[in-house]
């Protein structure tokens, strides 16, 4: 009998405003599809749903940028915890920035949140958008994954990453 892949997603809510989104199932589905696309199984990640204040702190500390941002990903440098399970890392998403961007782009909070989760998960899997070639590859993966969970291409009207 073949062992089934096990994906664990820990949701850490810092800001109570996240409660109203209730998109945990869709988030898990998008993460699962993303990890399969990256050929990663038996993994665990944490999604920290936070606020602008905490995001500002982490963005300043780790990226030397004095502003809140929508998503940060912190890959685990010691990937393999044991032969059965690997902890990929943490993704932080700021509610205030997410809400502002959603209103500006006229997209739902849930759709934008899922996009940021996919984006962060790709970062945990080693993808980046530092150069144009890598950015194009990452955006294409995002579009494919989001389409599989029923979310429209977020890059049609706005080009953001």
Q: What is the pLDDT of residues 77-113, one digit of tens each?
A: 765 444 455 889 999 999 999 999 999 988 999 999 9
Q: What is the pLDDT of residue 161?
A: 47
Q: What is the pLDDT of residue 81?
A: 46
The total of other beta-carbon atoms located within 10 Å of residue 68's CB is 22
pTM of the model: 0.89
**Looking at the predicted structure, is the pLDDT value of residue 1 above 80?**
no
**Looking at the predicted structure, is the pLDDT value of residue 124 above 90?**
yes
In eight-state DSSP terms, residue 2 is: P
Q: What is the pLDDT of residue 20?
A: 74
> What is the spatial distance between Cα 78 and Cα 98, in angstroms, rounded to a whole number?
30
Average pLDDT of span 140-157: 91
Q: What is the pLDDT of residues 18-69, one digit of tens each?
A: 877 778 889 999 999 999 999 888 889 999 999 999 999 999 999 999 999 9
> What is the spatial distance between Cα 93 and Cα 76, in angstroms, rounded to a whole number?
17
Place of tokens 């979310």: 151
> What is the spatial distance between Cα 90 and Cα 47, in angstroms, rounded to a whole number?
6
Q: Which helix (H) or strand (E) holds 94?
A: strand 86-94
């Amino acid at each position: 009998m073949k062992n089934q892949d096990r994906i664990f997603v820990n949701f850490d809510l810092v800001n109570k405003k996240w409660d109203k989104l209730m998109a945990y199932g869709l988030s898990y589905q998008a993460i699962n599809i993303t990890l399969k696309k990256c050929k990663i199984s038996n993994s665990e990640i944490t999604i920290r749903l936070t606020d602008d204040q905490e995001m500002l702190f982490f963005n300043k500390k780790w990226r030397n940028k004095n502003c809140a941002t929508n998503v940060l990903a912190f890959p685990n440098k010691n990937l393999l915890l044991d032969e059965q399970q690997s902890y990929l890392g943490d993704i932080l998403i700021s509610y205030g920035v997410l809400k502002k961007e959603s209103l500006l782009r006229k997209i739902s909070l849930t759709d934008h949140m899922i996009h940021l989760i996919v984006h962060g998960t790709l970062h945990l899997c080693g993808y980046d958008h530092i150069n144009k070639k890598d950015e194009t590859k990452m955006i294409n993966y995002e579009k494919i994954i989001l389409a599989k969970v029923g979310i429209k291409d977020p890059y049609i009207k706005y080009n953001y990453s």
